Structure 1
Amino acid sequence: MDDNEARVRLETLTETVRRDLDCEPEATRDAPCPELPEGATPANRRNELERELRLMGPINPLALEEFTALQERHAFLESQLEDVRGGRRELTKVIKAIDEEIVEVFRAAYADVADNFEKLFGTLFPGGQGRLRLTDPDHLLETGIEIEARPSGKNVRRLSLLSGGERSLTAMAFLFAVFRSRPSPFYLMDEVEAALDDVNLHRFLGLIHEFRDEAQLVIVSHQKRTMEAADCLYGVTMPPGGSSRVVSERVGAGGSSNRDPAGTPA
């Protein structure tokens, strides 16, 4: 190596020390030698460190700025996440309050309906017993309701073992128990007495007579006895060669009636 080459290399190393280490070359000579692993020489350690630097790849000069931006983004997302957690806690409180209110309303409604069902079942089935039972009384938000019905003279409780007419009467007992527990201005029923024989139809009409003072009952029926118990009848007729039209008949005092072919009650 000639003097010029040595001088150039020395100047290059000096600039490198000043730039990378921010100190003068004399300070590097006074610096203590770093500890080396056992059995390693300075040259081997240098080669190992250079290899690790090559494996790390090129240095990203914008890494610090990107890290700062990611920190700000992380802080923003953390605040948003905390807002979501707070909203979830508040929503959980609201759901809990609503569930408690639903449970109280359901408990009160069930008690009223169950009491009225037992009374109405006894009316429709003289001497019989009927009751409502919760399938899961400890969890009112998930429970179901089972109907137990035992007409007089029968040792059965399951609805599937009752006749068609008995099932219809049991269903009407439950339906009217709901009506009585939560009254409404009017009720609409569609051929609910179609499966009833004369005895059970008589009991049904007695129940209708009992409720007619509490609300307006609109019943779709083909039973003549049900029609006879009505205050006003509406029907649809179509003469041969004509078109269908609505006719009505209002039953007056003493059993008299007024007909209005135009469909308007007289």
Structure 2
Amino acid sequence: MEAVKQEYASLESQSVSLKQLINSLTSEVDGHKTRIASIRNAHDQAQSELNLFRSKMKECDTQISCILRKQQELQHKISETNLERKKMENEVKRMEMEQKSCSLKVEKLIEKHAWITLEKHRFGRSGTDYDFASCDPHTAREDFEKLQAEQSGCVSEKPYLLEKRVNKKVMAMFEKSEDEYNDLISKKNIIENDKTKIKMVIEELDEKKKETLKVTWLKVNNDFGSMFSTLLPGTMAKLETPEGSTFLDGLEVCVAFGSVWKQSLSELSGGQRSLLALSLILALLLFKPAPLYILDEVDAALDLSHTQNIGRLIKTHFPHSQFIVVSLKEGMFNNANVLFRTKFVDGVSTVQRTVASKPNK
């Protein structure tokens, strides 16, 4: 009996453990079922997306095939267009050749028949003999040939009648007068053409003169202002056109001290007017610099500071020119490369040459 109870107890414990195992397996099965369901849902969603992508790919394939067809059509059109373009180019070349030949024929006709130049202004006008719209040139040519044939027939049949009617002297005089008239007309045309060419040359020279004068004005104006500011610091100067005029009519000199422009040059002192004139002259000379300049006591009426400014101006603005300056002031000597001093020694005039310690290179 004890053995049965123990066995029963062991079986019950085994049953409990089996139930727990079954429960855990059941929970695992449920978890797997849930995962399988989620996987199936994901699979269905992926399948639907795959079907959607396949449909889109079919649409893209259809569009690509349409584009390829259009491309082929366009290539066909391009080839046809290129062929047509080549035909048109050949046609243009042919027409250009015809135009050149027609131009040569027209030039020969003008040289041969002087009346064409005189009557050219009437060509194409209605109510005249040159109304080409109402008169067919081919028909007129046929009529002309018929009249020539009739005239030749009349001349061949009755030459003695024409000789009686026509005065040979008058005909000779008429032909001579006609040749002289044609010669005068050709000379007139030559003179008119030469006149037109001369007018064109004069206009071109006027334009070049205007451009050159404008460039000269701007260059001289810039140098003039710079030089005057160097000679008289704190001032400005410029060449301006008068009100209502252009630079071709003339220029006037304007001077400013600080920011105040003077109304007239009479407001300047004598020394200021001298510096202004010297600046303008040097600006004009700087436009086309010369290799050598001679200045004779340009600083005679100026004080020492202005004399020094003139020396600095010559050094800075004329680096490639030589200046021979006659001066009695020390301020000018300080900017010189070589000094020649004259003095009396025992009643004899002597010249002493001195080279500056730092020559201008």
Q: Is the shorter-chain TM-score for this pair beyond 0.5, marking a shared fold?
A: yes
Which ranges in structure 2 are unaligned for 5 or more consecutive residues?
1-163
Counterpart among 247, 250, 253 of residue 353 in structure 2: 250
Tell me the secondary structure at the aligned position of residue 193 of structure 1: coil
Change (3 A) 1:126 1:227: closer
Counterpart among 110, 128, 141 of residue 217 in structure 2: 110
Instruction: Count how many residue pairs are aligned between Structure 1 and Structure 2.
Output: 192
Describe how 1:75-224 pairs up with structure 2 within 5 A: 75-135=182-242, 139-140=246-247, 142-152=248-258, 156-211=262-317, 213-219=319-325, 221-224=326-329
Q: Distance in 2 between the 1:171 and 1:138 partners?
A: 23
Q: Distance in 2 between the 1:239 and 1:75 partners?
A: 89
Amino acid corresponding to residue 171 of structure 1 in structure 2: A
Q: Distance in 2 between the 1:100 and 1:137 partners?
A: 21
Change (3 A) 1:173 1:223: same
TM-aligned CA deviation for residue 147 of structure 1: 1.0
Percent of aligned pairs sharing the same letter: 25
Amino acid corresponding to residue 131 of structure 1 in structure 2: K
Check conservation: 1:232, 1:248, Cα contact below 8 A: no
Q: Distance in 2 between the 1:154 and 1:195 partners?
A: 25
Change (3 A) 1:153 1:88: closer
| Greater relative CO (CA pairs within 8 A, separation 6+) | 1
Q: CA RMSD in A?
A: 4.0
Which ranges in structure 1 are unaligned for 5 or more consecutive residues?
1-21, 23-61, 256-266
User: Which has the larger helix fraction?
Assistant: 2
Q: Distance in 2 between the 1:102 and 1:77 partners?
A: 37
Change (3 A) 1:87 1:240: farther
Amino acid corresponding to residue 324 of structure 2 in structure 1: V
In terms of Rg, which structure is larger? 2
TM-aligned CA deviation for residue 133 of structure 1: 0.5
Change (3 A) 1:191 1:95: farther
Amino acid corresponding to residue 225 of structure 2 in structure 1: E
